[in-house]
Amino acid sequence: MFNQSLSDGTVPASFKSAFITPQLKKPGLDAAEACSCRPISNLSVISKMLERLFATRLLTYLDESGLIPSMQSAYCRNHSTKTVVFRVLSDILLALDCGDFAAVALRDLSVAFDTVNHDTLNRHLHVLYGLRDLALNWFCSYLQGRIQHVRFAATKSSVLTVLFSIP
């Protein structure tokens, strides 16, 4: 089934359905308030396995093509949040040792993934990263036709089509 998906450049519709489970951000917050919860998107296990297979192939291609920036830490083997912290700390200490000033500005960009336009992303994958043919078709298929609903206890919302964001 996975080989068929990759060779056809399509993702089965049944793999594109997610349910959102609200989880409290911190213990003690009011669960009745939406701002107290973060949405956890749940996909089927088999869908996640297909994603992992494609991601592994995509990362191999990007790595072998020299398209992963040297400072990239996310999704790279032998890199983690610790390597980023060590790099930033090292840069700060080097600047201070040279008599320079050092400042760090941090920003949480995780919400940015909720606003990604699929057409723009696909265009970037083609133009900037050279994805084409089956790989680009697979990625387009992966993003298109996604649906989700919220599930809380025994209550389930109506199904919504996902037009933006990265699953």
In a domain, 114, yes or no: yes
> What pLDDT is attached to residue 3?
92
Domain extent for 30: 2-161
The CA distances from residue 156 to 8, 23, 37, 114, in Å, are 33, 15, 16, 22
In a domain, 166, yes or no: no
> What pLDDT is attached to residue 82?
85
In a domain, 55, yes or no: yes
Asked if 20 contacts 148 with a C-beta cutoff of 8 angstroms, the reply is yes
Single pTM value for the model: 0.76
- Assign 24 to helix, strand or coil: strand
In a domain, 167, yes or no: no
> What pLDDT is attached to residue 48?
93
Rounded to whole angstroms, the Cα distance separating 115 from 112 reads 6
Asked if 18 contacts 41 with a C-beta cutoff of 8 angstroms, the reply is yes
Tens of pLDDT, residue by residue, the chain (167 residues): 999 999 999 999 999 999 998 889 898 898 888 888 888 889 999 999 999 999 999 989 998 999 988 777 777 777 778 888 888 899 999 999 999 999 888 887 777 777 888 899 999 999 999 999 999 999 999 999 999 999 888 889 999 898 887 77
Q: What is the domain count for the chain?
A: 1
> What pLDDT is attached to residue 162?
87
In a domain, 64, yes or no: yes
Distance of CA 64 to the CA centre of its chain: 21
> What pLDDT is attached to residue 158?
93
* Amino acid at site 134: L
In a domain, 32, yes or no: yes
